[in-house]
Chains A and B, each alone.
Chain A
Amino acid sequence: MDALLEIRDLSIAFGGLKAVQDFSLTLARGDLQGLIGPNGAGKTTVFNLVTGVYRPQVGTVRLGSRVLNGLRPHQIAAAGVARTFQASRLFADLTVRDNVRIGCQLRATHGLWATVWRTTRHVADEARIRDRCEQLLATFGLTKRRGELARNLPYGDQRRLEMARALATDPQVLLLDEPAAGMNPPEKLALRELIRSVRRQFDVTILLIEHDMGVVMDICERITVLDYGVTIAVGTPQEVQRDARVIAAYLGTPETEAR
């Protein structure tokens, strides 16, 4: 299997705090991997480094043969890496449909002039965007809510809209930051199936941050565990669950007691 997203030795410190240290991870095309760790471990920071929100002080990120670090976030999105946000960053005062259509816009080709004169190109582009948007809304069960403002959606729908919007950019790699947060148990159960089917249907490679172990252990093929910015374990769900350092990191105290 060839590496699609290759993260190598990524590090960043905020002041004295080493938020992420020497983080490496390789996603092959079609992978569904997990990134877990206790609160403040640096998981979201990894996403921010990969998507250009933060610039890594050390390390490289490659998508295929293209080096991503140093690019602006919109360029990284255009290159094919999309993400969702942990704390919802939907366009709150826009409709569900417009949230998704903004994502679709990335692959549109017409300019401002075409927009003002409504050229055939513009009309065709907008029609294509509309179709794609409807398809995404259907996949995520949001069709009925398409006209509502994003801020008025129930929490679970907001999480799904985040995913739909990210997929609208037609990515190769999808980074999901705690999609299950705030969902109720039935929704979480449905989410497992949804993520699996998204991978199939949209042919994306997924890296998932999630605190809900039920979701992570069920759907991820490989898991990387972070603690205080350091990678403490990598392996299959079974391996990771049995790993002493992982257990210590999650339970907190045993490691210190052992010393």
Chain B
Amino acid sequence: MRLGVGTLLRNLAPLVVGVALASILHFWIQPASGAFATKVLVDIGINVILAVSLTLVNGFTGQFSIGHAGFMCVGGYVAAAVTYYGSHRLYGDAFLHGGVLSWTAGQGGVAGPLLAGGDLLFVVACLLGGLAAAVAGYVVGLPSLRLRGDYLAIVTLGFGEIVRVLFQSTQPQLFLAGEIQSQSTWRLGTMLGGALGFTSVPFYSTLFWVYAFVALTLLATYRIKQSGYGRAFLSIREDEVAAEAMGVHTTRLKVRAFVLSSFFAGLAGALFAHSIGSINAGELGFQKSFDVIIMVVLGGMGSISGSTLAAIILTILPEVLRTATEHVNRYLPESYALPDLRMIIYSLALIVMMIVRPQGLFGLHEIWDFRKKARRHEGT
């Protein structure tokens, strides 16, 4: 295939910009912002990946998956195990072995070179996590997407529960270097910490890595949406019978969208595990899937920028609410203290949304589509 240097540059330009922005966040914003803001920024990035990837299925193809956290979990565990045990195999411990990109200011230690072996280990772990989730997506999606109707919802709900039970019944995690060295790799794969979750995962998920992957996700999904594939996905959601009549292989495309979506969910899980240093299937149940669904529904079923915006708002909002409630509660007698308002506000927002704008804030459109339309109206 002919591929000129110019084309290559043009094709990769958005990714280069994304990586540059991630670097700015990492090298300038992070040191100035403090630990709490950094944590919120990381959470935002991860939620953006989750919401945008779910939009691929729930928004583009119009199927309804409610087990996104399950795929996140698969990716998270696989990636965590790869970095943790892999690090033990390679370096004899599970500390950070990355360069400056994996090194958070204020964490102590010395910044290394730009890239080091640990970075490669981490990136490979993230991709393996995504691939594992994609395989799970294929296994779950193929049978359920062949059938019409809401089988996917039921099956993905079940899948989330199965994943939880499976990971919670794994063997205890190994912590001693000697023990880890003496185990076979396959045995290590079953030692994922059981009910306690998988802990001591090195903190590779800096703002740089998180936002580099955010850029990759946004670029891939946006390009898909703008292409024949995206239009074919949308045609399935619009009218499956007509889509088939236009030659769209609906089953295959639904499965592809689902597998792709699962891949990115797994990637988000991997970043999540390396951001808080642990992953526990018990904490990533239906509640987490529901949070992501709300982001997609609010942002607009099928809008990438809308889902992104909703993910940002709905990550910040709970933090604000929590601070506000704590603040108010300080002045209230204990028996009148306000409970956690998050779920109440979410539910209300969802109800209002369903009544006022059932297609979500942006529907299918991207935020900039509206500016274009406004300009056109002015013109005429």
Contact = CB atoms under 8 A, between A and B. Distances in A.
Do the two chains belong together in a single complex? yes
Contacts of A166: 245-246
By secondary structure, the A interface counts as helix
Interface stretch (B75-83, B235-243, B271-279, B284-292): B235-243
Contacts of B364: 93-94
Interface string B1-26: 11110010011000000000000000
A93 B250 CA distance: 18
B145 interface: no
Given A77-B247, A90-B242, A98 B234 contact: yes
Interface residues of A, number: 43
Centre residue among A82, A94, A104 by max chain B CB count within 10 A? A94
Centre residue among B7, B229, B243, B256 by max chain A CB count within 10 A? B229
B224 interface: yes
A112 interface: yes
By secondary structure, the B interface counts as helix
A92 B249 CA distance: 20
Contact of A72 (B10, B228, B244): B244
Given A77-B246, A121-B1, 9 more contacts: A72-B244, A78-B247, A90-B239, A94-B238, A102-B232, A102-B235, A105-B247, A106-B247, A115-B228
A89 B227 contact: no
Given A94-B234, A105-B228, A119-B1, A53 B247 contact: no
Nearest to A78: B247
Interface of A: 51-53, 72-74, 77-78, 82-83, 85, 89-94, 98, 101-106, 108, 110, 112, 115-123, 125-126, 129, 165-166, 168-169
B223 interface: yes
A89 B256 contact: no
Contacts of B115: none
Interface in B8-47: 10-11
Interface in B248-276: 248-250, 256, 260
B2 A120 contact: yes
Centre residue among A77, A78, A85, A108 by max chain B CB count within 10 A? A77
Given A93-B238, A94-B238, A98-B234, A120 B1 contact: yes
15 contacts: A53-B245, A73-B241, A74-B245, A77-B244, A77-B246, A82-B245, A85-B241, A89-B241, A89-B242, A92-B239, A98-B234, A116-B220, A119-B1, A119-B7, A122-B227
Contacts of A91: 234-235, 238-239, 242-243
A133 to B, nearest CB: 11
B248 A89 contact: no
A165 B238 CA distance: 14
A106 B260 CA distance: 21
B224 A74 contact: no
Given A94-B231, A119-B1, A129-B228, A85 B242 contact: yes
A39 to B, nearest CB: 21
A93 B10 CA distance: 31
A202 to B, nearest CB: 16
Given A53-B241, A93-B364, A118 B11 contact: yes
Given A72-B244, A91-B242, A120 B7 contact: yes
B239 A74 contact: no
B229 A112 contact: yes
A91 B243 CA distance: 8
A169 B256 contact: no
Contacts of B1: 119-121
A169 B246 contact: yes
Contact of B231 (A72, A74, A78, A101): A101
